Structure 1
Amino acid sequence: MTSLDHPRLSGLGRNPAAPVDVLVRLAAHKAGRHGISMRRGRLADAVVEALLTHGDDDNAVSLHGDRLSPAMRRRIAEHPDPAIRDAYAAFVRYTVDRQVTIGIEALEEAHGRPRTALVGAPSPKLRAAVARDWYDRPAAVQAALLADPDPLVRAAATVDKKPGVPPEWSDRCLADPATRVNVARYVPLTSDQFTQLMRTEDEDVHQAVATNPHLSADMVARLLDIDDPAVRVAVAQSRHVDTETRNRLYALVEAERAAGSTEAWVALNWNFTEPDWLREAPLDERMTYLDCEQTVFRRVLASCRDLPEEAWRRLDNDPDLMVRRTAARRPDAPPHVLERLVRAHGDVFHIRPLLVEHPNFPRHTLRTLVDEPSPNVRYVALQDPELPVTALQQLATAEDSFLRRGVARHPNITDALLERLLVDPAPEVADDAGANPALRPARMYRILAEAGL
């Protein structure tokens, strides 16, 4: 967490090259403690002792598990302040109470019991947390959760289609108000089950059913007249809908959006379902979607790996950027296609691997991106770990702070550049400069001295 007032200290706390004595002195400052809490790996015993001396229960939340030596785990377990002893467990209970996913290992550590025992915990919220966080639970455990007396637990157990609902549980879960919507999204439905769900006149149920990938053609036909944008978009993505019907449904929703309908806007822009069935369709059928008016179909098509060269040529030049990026992730994407895409639009850094990490990407061209007009494209140049100092100097003067941050994190940074970025007006830049392992120990000690530590 970047300290707005003392970013160099919070950054220094994260610095993987910071000596133990630097971290011990940092622990006397709130910003330093925040930075240390973000470090990866085990903390030295001396650092833990300093955090216990200067910190509070908020800082103690990060002192648990493999971050500590066995001696320090005993030290915290025997700490005279109950708030320190219970800090991590209290944090986990807080997340459980608010129904936030935290991970099954965290639940086991905080409660000191194995997951098999937590399934039968007295607290419904804890049992629901186990259902959310134990993804690969065995069938017997899933059955126990589906039969749980508390609706909160049953709902949590059915959110995801894995481990799913066994066929013998379908009727019961579809009749249960706590699980009906969840289960209607993914279990194969019989004609009677489908009819019963449609009779509920529940909008959420209808929307869930419409996204079910196992619907028959007859079921889809019975959904066509439902006046709900989310249902119309889901039905339009069905394998049982012809091109004319699909275009008509999308046109209806587009018209509603143009008329100011929030529901229609959400259905078109926040709809994360895809026609996954298209990936398994015969090649001849898939090829008919190359010119599909709806982008989502072309995007799914671009995620296939067995298309002919003509299809890739079309998809590489698709009018939609997401389609082009999806196509470029195929194993044999040509170098010029990858470079052209990155040079025009940059990369998407929250999706791994990056396009510039593709084996066919011409990495020698990365440094040439420094002179591109778009800051998002120039940022990609920083993926070259040997980017010349002259290029780093150029990017360090950029108006966009995210570019200066990229320079502050770069492994080829010089002492002079680090010095400049340590006093950058954007706290995040100074924080990243303080966290760069290239920062020399002598400069670390000066930062401490300047802060009176």
Structure 2
Amino acid sequence: MPIRDARDIEAAWAGLFVGIEALAAQPSMRKAWLNGLRHIAPADVLVGLLDVVDTSVVRNLPTEVVDAVIAHPDRRIRSRLAQTRRGMSATQWAGLIAGETGTGRSHLQWLADWRGPKVAEAQFERWARDPDPRTRLQALWFRGLPQEQARALAADPDPEVRAEACGYAWPHLDPARRAALVGDPSPRVREAARRRAGFDRPMSRTEFDALTSTEQWRAVPVQLLGRDLAEHLVRGGDRGLRRTLVDKNERLDADLITELAHDEDPHVRAAVAVRADVTEELRASISAGLPPDTPYWAVRWVLESHDDPEAMRRLARSASIGIRRSVAQARRLPPDVVDRLSRDPDSHVSYNLATCCEDAPAEVLLEVALQGEDGFVARDHPNFPRHALLRFADDPDPLRRRLALESPESTPDLAERLADDPDERVRERAAADRRLSPATVLRLLDSTPRTRRAALGNRQLPVPALVRVLRDADTAEYAAANRAIPVAVVRRLAEVARAAELSDG
């Protein structure tokens, strides 16, 4: 009997490829296969699919694939990786940036500055001392460059390195060294130095008005503003420029910052509240008047203080929601800070704690998991209280019932029962459970759309049925992500789909 079963399964998989070329000729079919297979294909197969499928949506992209994307000749493919990938190493970011020039490189440097890892001082020193100028440049692509290395790179023998280092090193250079850069033999260095020197000369309103719109937007974040220009920008004009001014220009007079704290635009007021140079009293007065739906973004100077326990203790008590949310994004936090943030009235603070902090407590993780569709991200945390979830099996709240299946003590009988739950969110979770019988998974293919999609990915789906849904354009994408598909079948199906996609392109 086992031999016959094995032969039947082999025959079923062989049936998938009967007339496969005709199926692959249909764009909807081959795209569905590719979109599903990208989630389960081995690294070498994914590398071969980079020209025909977007791998940036794959959650756990193998290192080999990331490296292949970084080296890929197509700029669009590299750009998608930079825009979406989290957790890349400094070396990978450096390789990605090195493949670009001009504004493309500047944009990637900006992304690396925000999303890249915090680089250790020792790594900066290794880069800065490397005999290859292309490697020395890498030290200038990440935040946190120490002053000593910045000054050394501003005197580098390579003009490209000197030019790049001007902006980083300028605040730490004496007048003689600044003058040397302004008069440097290299035109590129002279231009960079003179541009940076110009930021320190107060710009008047007349000079500002003579700039193009693009030049004005570039000047506002970094330029030392004359009093007449600063007052003009603060008290009128474009609200977008005011937001940029308060968000990025660190050289505003204190009285003008206070004036912006009363701006008609809540986004401007919110940006004032998270500046590093305002008092906690001002933060409190601003925060009390902000609309409940005010958006907040990560506060850079708070993120850069994550390794300072005392700073985290102080900032966790801030009246600014934006600052507290940024504190909660720290990978590690002192126990008393975790305790305070766990009791924060803002739900996004708890969410950030659950998704970013290794010290997030079980009760916060459970609370976040019960917040709705996005709450399930907390399940992957090592502190998630899986052994306390079985008690929810009969809870009237469907979000709690579905969590019961996350318990290691849950049984096949429970999975079978919840597969017929009146709430689709519970049925959807049960449909993906490997403890279901093949017959139940097969039955769930005739359920509602969300439940059917979950069942299509269940490894318990019988092979003949899996082959059938793989040959149907309406179900092929979710079926192609089923990890029960043998690697040999994945390889062959990917090859067929890729060949059809390239021949049609």
TMscore range, shorter length: 0.5 to 0.7
Corresponding residue for residue 406 of structure 1: 429
Give CA deviations for 1:223-280 in whole Å, capped at 9, x if unaligned: 44544322111011112222332233334444xxxxxxxxxx7xx5333243643762
2-side partners of 1:278 and 1:39: how far apart?
36
Report if the CA contact (8 A) 1:405-1:429 is conserved. yes
In the alignment, which residue of structure 2 is the partner of 1:77?
none
Q: Tell me, which stretches of 5 or more residues in structure 2 are unaligned?
A: 1-10, 55-65, 85-91, 114-140, 143-163, 168-191, 200-207, 474-505
Superposed CA RMSD in Å reads: 5.1
Three-state SS of the structure 1 residue aligned to 2:213 is coil
Q: Give the superposition deviation at 1:206.
A: 1.7
- What's the offset of the Cα at 1:432? 3.4
Q: 1:261 corresponds to which residue?
A: none
Equivalent positions of 1:411-422 (< 5 A) are 411-422=434-445
Question: Structure 2 vs 1, CA of residues 35 and 406 (structure 1 numbering), >3 Å: closer, same or farther?
Answer: farther
Q: Aligned partners of 1:411 and 1:321: how far apart in 2?
A: 32
**Contact 1:211 1:273 (C-alpha < 8 Å) held by counterparts:** no
239-248 or 303-312, larger mean C-alpha shift:
303-312
Deviations 1:374-405, CA, capped at 9 Å, x for gaps: 32333334445784222212221223333322
2:34 maps to what in 1?
A: 37
AA aligned opposite 2:347: L
C-alpha change, 1:297 and 1:127, in structure 2 (3 Å) is: closer
**% same residue:** 22
| Residue aligning to 2:239 | 203
Q: CA deviation at 1:141?
A: 5.1
- Displacement over 6 Å in runs of 4+: 103-109, 125-135, 153-159, 446-451
Counterpart in the other structure of 2:302:
277
Q: Is the 8 A contact 1:26 1:33 kept in 2?
A: no
Check if 1:313 corresponds to 2:350.
no
More divergent stretch after superposition (230-239 vs 389-398):
389-398
Structure 2 residue aligned with 1:365: 388
Matched-pair contact (CA < 8 Å) for 2:273–2:287: yes
Superposed counterparts of 1:11-22, under 5 Å: 19=13, 21-22=15-16
Q: Does 1:178 align with 2:214?
A: yes
- What is the distance in 1 between the residues matched to 2:18 and 2:320? 58
The one-letter code sitting in structure 2 at the alignment partner of 1:363 is R
Tell me, in whole angstroms, the C-alpha distance in 2 between the residues paired with 1:449 and 1:108: 34
Q: Identify the residue that residue 229 of structure 1 maps to in structure 2.
A: 266
SS in 1 for 2:37: coil
Contact 1:385 1:410 in 2 (8 A): no
1: distance between equivalents of 2:227 and 2:330? 32
How far apart, in 1, do the equivalents of 2:215 and 2:38 lie?
Answer: 40
TM superposition shift of 1:331: 3.0
Contact 2:299 2:326 in 1 (8 A): yes
Q: Structure 2 vs 1, CA of residues 340 and 213 (structure 1 numbering), >3 Å: closer, same or farther?
A: farther
Aligned 8 A contact 1:158 1:179 in 2: no
Once the two structures are superposed, the pairs formed by residues 16-415 of structure 1 within 5 Å of their partners are 19=13, 21-24=15-18, 32-33=29-30, 35-40=32-37, 66-67=48-49, 114=73, 136=94, 142=101, 144-145=102-103, 160=111, 162=113, 167=167, 168=192, 177-178=213-214, 180-181=216-217, 184=220, 189-192=222-225, 199=232, 201-212=237-248, 214-215=250-251, 218=254, 220-221=257-258, 223-224=260-261, 226-254=263-291, 268-274=293-299, 276-277=301-302, 280=305, 283-284=309-310, 286-304=312-330, 308-328=334-354, 330-335=357-362, 337-338=363-364, 340-341=366-367, 345=371, 348=374, 354-383=377-406, 387-415=410-438
The alpha-carbon deviation at position 107 of structure 1 amounts to 11
Q: Which residue of 2 aligns with 1:11?
A: none
Q: How many residues align?
A: 346
Unaligned runs of 5+ in 1: 1-16, 45-62, 74-87, 92-102, 119-124, 146-152, 255-264
Rounded to whole Å, the distance in 1 between the matches of 2:14 and 2:227 is: 64
Q: Shift of residue 204 of structure 1? A: 1.8
The superposition leaves residues 298-333 of structure 1 with CA deviations (integer Å, 9 ceiling, x where unpaired) of 333334466554443333223233323434554344
Shift of 1:416: 2.1
Letter of the 2:225 counterpart: D
Provide the rounded CA distance (Å) in 2 between the counterparts of 1:309 and 1:128. 39
Deviation string 1:383-441 (CA, Å, 9 cap, x unpaired) is 457842222122212233333222222222211211220111x2343243234332222
- Distance in 1 between residues matched to 2:81 and 2:383, nearest whole Å: 43
CA separation of 1:249 and 1:317: change in aligned 2, threshold 3 A: closer
| 1:429 correspondence with 2:451 | yes
For residue 318 of structure 1, what is the amino acid of its counterpart? D
CA separation in 2, counterparts of 1:43 and 1:342? 28
AA aligned to 1:235 is V
**Partners of 1:307 and 1:66 in 2: CA distance:** 42
Q: Secondary structure at the match of 1:269?
A: coil
TM-score, normalised to structure 1, is 0.58
Alignment partner, residue 463 of structure 2: 441
Task: Give TM-score, length-normalised by structure 2.
Answer: 0.53
- Which residue matches 1:121? none
